[in-house]
A and B are shown apart, each in its own frame.
Chain A
Amino acid sequence: MRRLAPSPTTRVEVDRPVPFRWVGRSIEGCQGDTVASALWNAGVRTFGRSFEYHRPRGLFDLEGEGASQLVAIDGLPNQSAGTTALRAGMSVSAQNVSGDPRSDLYGVLDRFDRWMPAGFYYRRFHRPYRAWPFFQNRMRALAGLGVLDTSSPHDDARRSELYLNADVAVVGGGVSGMAAALAAARPGVRVCLFERRPWLGGHMDWRVRETRGERLYERAHGLAEEVAAHPHIRALTAAPVTGIWGENLVTGFQNGSDADGFDERHWECRARAVIVATGTIERPLVFNHNDRPGVMVSDTAWRLARSYAVRPGMRAVFSVGDDLALEAAVDLASLGIDVAAVADARADGADPELVAALERAGIEFLPGYAASAALGKHAVAGVTIATLDGSDERRFACDLLVANAGRQPDIGALSSAGARFRHSPHTHTFEIESLPADVFAAGRVTGLVDAEAIETSGRRAGLEAFVHLAGGLGAAFPSTDEPSVYAELTKIRAYSSELPGPPAGCGILHGPNLGSGRKAFLDFDEDGTWKNAVQCAEQGFDVPELAKRFGNFGLGPGQYRVPGQNVAMAMAQITGTAIEEIRCTTVRPPLIAPKLATVAGPNHDSYKRTPLHDDQASRGGVFRRAGAWQRARYFSDDHTCRAEIRNVRENVGLLDSSPLGKFRIYGPDAIHALQRVYISDMTKMKPGRCKYSAMCNDTGNIIDDGVVVPMGRDDYYFTTSSNRAASTVEWFRYHTRYDGWNYNLVNLTDTLASINLAGPRARDVLRKVTDADLSNQAFPYIGYREIAVGDGIAARCMRLGFVGELSYELHVGASHAPHVWDLLWSAGEEFGIQPFGLEAQNALRAEKGHVIIGAESEQRVTLLDIGMGWLWSREDTASKKVGAPALRACQDQPNRMKLVGFRVDEGGGSPQDGAIVVDGDDILGFVCTTRYSEALGWQFGMALVKERAIGDGDVAGLEIYENLGGRPRRTRATIVPPHFYDPDGTRLRS
Chain B
Amino acid sequence: MTFRLTCPVCGARDVYEFRYGGPERGMRPAQEDLSPEEHFRWTQFRTTRPAPQEEWWYHAAGCGVWFSTWRNPATNREEGPAT
Contacts and interface: CB of A to CB of B under 8 A. Distances in A.
B70 interface: no
B2 A247 contact: yes
A258 to B, nearest CB: 32
Nearest to B67: A737
A734 B67 CA distance: 9
A880 B28 contact: yes
A698 B41 CA distance: 11
A877 interface: yes
Contact of B58 (A270, A734, A877, A881): A734
B66 A737 contact: yes
A733 interface: yes
A737 B34 CA distance: 20
A247 B76 CA distance: 9
Interface stretch (A149-157, A578-586, A882-890, A897-905): A882-890
Given A729-B64, A885-B36, A270 B28 contact: no
Interface residues on B, range: 20 to 34
Interface string A729-744: 1100111011000000
B66 A270 contact: no
Contacts of A885: 31, 34, 36, 39
Contact of B21 (A270, A734, A877): A734
Interface residues of A, number: 23
Contacts of B39: 885-886, 889
A877 B76 contact: no
A249 interface: yes
A884 B34 CA distance: 11
A246 interface: yes
A881 B40 CA distance: 15
A246 B64 contact: no
A902 to B, nearest CB: 33
Nearest to A251: B2
B3 A246 contact: yes
Given A737-B66, A880-B30, A880-B31, A247 B60 contact: no
Contacts of B40: 889
B77 interface: yes
Given A270-B14, A730-B64, A885-B34, A247 B4 contact: yes
B78 to A, nearest CB: 10
B43 interface: yes
A246 B76 contact: yes
A734 to B, nearest CB: 6
Contacts of B60: 730
B82 interface: no
Given A733-B66, A889-B36, A738 B27 contact: yes
Nearest to B1: A246
Q: Which of A730, A738, A885, A888 has the most CB of B within 10 A?
A: A885
Interface in A356-385: none
A735 B21 CA distance: 11
A888 B33 CA distance: 11
A735 B2 CA distance: 27
Closest 8 CB pairs of A and B: A889-B36, A877-B31, A885-B39, A698-B43, A246-B3, A738-B27, A246-B2, A249-B2
Interface of A: 245-247, 249, 270, 698-699, 729-730, 733-735, 737-738, 877-878, 880-881, 884-886, 888-889
Given A735-B28, A881-B31, A884-B31, 14 more contacts: A246-B2, A247-B4, A249-B2, A698-B43, A733-B66, A734-B21, A734-B56, A737-B56, A737-B66, A738-B27, A877-B30, A880-B31, A885-B39, A886-B43
